[in-house]
Amino acid sequence: MKANKEVAVEKFNKGYNCCQAVICAYCEELGVKEEDVFKLTEGFGLGMGGLRDTCGAVTGMFLAIGLSNSAGDMSAPLVTKMDTYEKVRRAAELFKEKKGSVYCRDLLTEKGPQALRDAADPTLPHSYEWYVIEHINTPERQVTHQLPLEEAIQLYAGLDCEDKRLGVTKDGIAAVDLAIHYQAGHLRGDLPPL
């Protein structure tokens, strides 16, 4: 497969999660519909849905290997399975040699895992930046970053679309999209502890 690093970075900068950015950069070459792959991999960001486990970019790499290597023969599923497993293991080894880990919790920041532990420590000071996502599941998707809370709430409340999220990034590393309902000037919703 040809390298599509620039395409992946461009997609990531548009708001795709790491897994989506990597695998969607190869959709055309692999002959799969990008919209379907985008939906399929939505929960794979931040190390599998925010669990900080296997890095989404690594998962996207594994998906690309499977799509390019599998015979796709459902009547004989073992034809290429072991070869694909070997390629995945080798890719993981190379990634780990270059980056030090395949886990999001170790890769998320230049400080490595210490930054995540610091973000979880309630005794330390923290910074918060709010963002608003509109038209989430459409080509018109747009993300507005680095907002103070009041401005984010005003932007969110003023959006004339059903498919929107208000979110927060803590210490520049941990992001949470909030399911919020805005009615008659009041926000309703369960906010996770920050």
Instruction: Supply 87's token pair.
Output: 């390629």
- Cα 130 to Cα 124: distance, rounded to the nearest angstrom: 19
pTM above 0.85, yes or no: no
Give 10-residue mean pLDDT values along the chain (194 residues): 76 85 90 92 86 88 92 88 93 88 76 62 83 79 82 87 80 62 50 45
Q: Say how far apart CA 37 and CA 81 lie, in whole Å.
A: 21
Domain segments of the chain as ranges: 5-108, 119-188
Alpha helices in the chain (DSSP H): 5-13, 18-24, 27-30, 34-40, 45-48, 56-69, 81-99, 104-107, 113-120, 149-158
Whole-number pLDDT of residue 65: 92
pLDDT of residue 39: 93
| SS3 category, 120 | helix
Q: What are phi and psi of 131, to 5 degrees?
A: -145, 160
